[in-house]
Structure 1
């Protein structure tokens, strides 16, 4: 073989190698690219901005357990990035510290601080990285925004009218921050799982709280949810999925109540989840030292870990309730735009025909898939089966 022919072959192989290597780079996070670790490709990345409901910190010690975003990453090829670094940093974290700065002592990073800090690190890490690799990384990044519980906890102590006005301002700021994130990151590829906060009156700690009316706290929660849903429906800067954590919590309490009331047979109780022994009290009691706290005999059967947080079993159930074993949704399915927003008019029309009771006509064709639509259509997100009972439940009987 002539030298020129062999040279052409070598050049061709080099080109193919470069093309393959460029593609291969795309499956790594920016930090991985910068640090030079190429041991295992990372297809998807889950970036969490949130409070202690999405960042375990030291809450579950001494148990070696995880919160739902971490468990979510076990369902597919995923890396998790939590934006807080110090021990127990997210406890009490709220959306806007300037709006609610009544906690005293050191203030946890709010949503804006967490986003800004992460974006700055991301910008530094991306310097010198191939544009194609960062583009692929953006396409395969999913953001989790899990705030609101501690905002509502603080607001419940305020005058109702004043608190409702604060809710409107806070939610408005939250979506302004999401706008900034999408503009900086990618309007085309920004995907957000936005968690709706729970009704704080269900938390065991609320039973001993003084000077707070239960009805006002419930009113604030409903107002918060309505504001978020309304703005999410109109949000066009990216794609949002509302994770209704509150409905999940209510479902767990309701099923236990129905069983206690004899409305569910023993063999059916916990059939589609967990047969909770206790949905009212925490597994661990208060103590000066968390390592010396008294722990219940079976943490897996307690809905709450402490008086303010879900237990490990509930976290796992929230992340992967009723995973479709026979035909599980693939990562590619939920990561594509077709899952996050129904751009195809035919798909949107089909879904709207299935949902004659939808509150907002034509909503399915927007860049937003409402939680009620997801529930009614029985779509699955990471193994969480959401059905009509989530949006068609009656009043919950309070048992304290």
Structure 2
């Protein structure tokens, strides 16, 4: 894949940072409530995932600088950093709801991995072996990164065992740990290149492997683990996919329909596996509902239409819900046409997508 086609591959993360609290209204409660997951004793969040979750700070095996994604400070925090701050909310103090200066969770152990937008690799998936097997015989120059979920879990287990050996006081850390696991972006983008039967089989195998990873985490812990496992967003709404509307018009609708189907299938399989899993508590937020709510609010406001809830009376949180902050800009010269420049918006806070 070329640089420009990757430009906005993890763009949707911005919205998750700003309106995370809306997740509580649009979530599948595998557990009774979010309080079951984010208890008062939470002191550590362990992060597994791809570009959407990578904080850029690594406990083990940091990637070389050439393989690190550049993080603009205007992007804000990734959702897990905001999640860590959400732990400061307590039901007994209204003041605490707004006091996010100190992370209640104490530490974020990041094992997620992102990739630079200009690289030709596929980002972190659930299992790169499943991807390799599913894509056998396909003409695909992209290669999957080795930092899949299986690798991330193994890195964590090795790191955590060493930490426990160094300090006896960490024996009770399991009760104060929350795991976040967010995969599917790269999996769906790559499996959408396969025939339906093969794509569905790859998704089945990926979800099965994901829960095998959770089993490994649960086996390592002395107490039932707590997991935040977001469902997958609608990939077709992301700027990266929408940028192909003009260049491949005849295939765009078909590709869009197929990706929507695969996303629905992914979430259904994920949900079914979560309801049957017995080695811990799982909370499944729906980030796609958050994104769609902001899009709807923007549309209602500019059409001057109010829904039953009275939405559109106030200015929307984002002025631009389709146009990302970063965009390609081409000049008139041969040199400019050969290498498009990247233009950054003047007010990133007004853009739903980075």
TM-score (norm 2): 0.65
Match of 2:342 in 1: 293
Secondary structure of residue in 2 paired with 1:263: coil
- Give 2:154's match in structure 1, choosing from 116, 130, 134: 116
Query: Looking at CA atoms only, which structure, 1 or 2, has the larger radius of gyration?
Result: 1
Write the deviation string for residues 88-134 of structure 1: whole angstroms up to 9, x where unpaired: 5997211010122456357140001001001101111211422xx22
Report how far residue 285 of structure 1 moved. 1.5
- Give 2:81's match in structure 1, choosing from 49, 70, 73: 70
Match of 2:302 in 1: 260
Secondary structure of residue in 1 paired with 2:272: helix
Match of 1:165 in 2: 201
Match of 2:233 in 1: 198
Secondary structure of residue in 2 paired with 1:257: helix
Report how far residue 161 of structure 1 moved. 2.5
Alignment of 1:170-319 (within 5 A): 170-186=206-222, 188-209=223-244, 210=248, 211=251, 213-264=255-306, 268-269=311-312, 274-286=316-328, 293-305=342-354
Moved over 6 A (4+): none
Secondary structure of residue in 1 paired with 2:126: coil
Distance in 2 between the 1:221 and 1:53 partners?
A: 17
Contact 1:142 1:190 in 2 (8 A): yes
Distance change (3 Å), C-alpha of 1:164 and 1:241: same
Q: Which runs of 5+ in 1 are unaligned?
A: 1-41, 306-400
Distance in 2 between the 1:97 and 1:174 partners?
A: 12
Distance in 1 between the 2:352 and 2:75 partners?
A: 17
Write the deviation string for residues 123-174 of structure 1: whole angstroms up to 9, x where unpaired: 11211422xx223211000000011111111112222222122111111111
Report how far residue 259 of structure 1 moved. 2.7
Distance in 1 between the 2:113 and 2:287 partners?
A: 25
Distance change (3 Å), C-alpha of 1:106 and 1:176: closer
Alignment of 1:51-62 (within 5 A): 51-57=50-56, 58-62=69-73
Match of 2:45 in 1: 46
Contact 1:197 1:245 in 2 (8 A): yes
Report how far residue 86 of structure 1 moved. 8.5
Distance change (3 Å), C-alpha of 1:169 and 1:85: closer
If asked which structure has higher relative contact order (CA below 8 Å, sep 6+), I would say: 2
Match of 1:368 in 2: none
Please say if 1:99 is aligned against 2:118: no
Please say if 1:83 is aligned against 2:125: no
Q: Which runs of 5+ in 2 are unaligned?
A: 1-40, 57-68, 89-103, 133-139, 330-335
Distance in 2 between the 1:87 and 1:126 partners?
A: 30
Distance in 2 between the 1:65 and 1:103 partners?
A: 32
Alignment of 1:126-137 (within 5 A): 126-130=164-168, 133-137=169-173
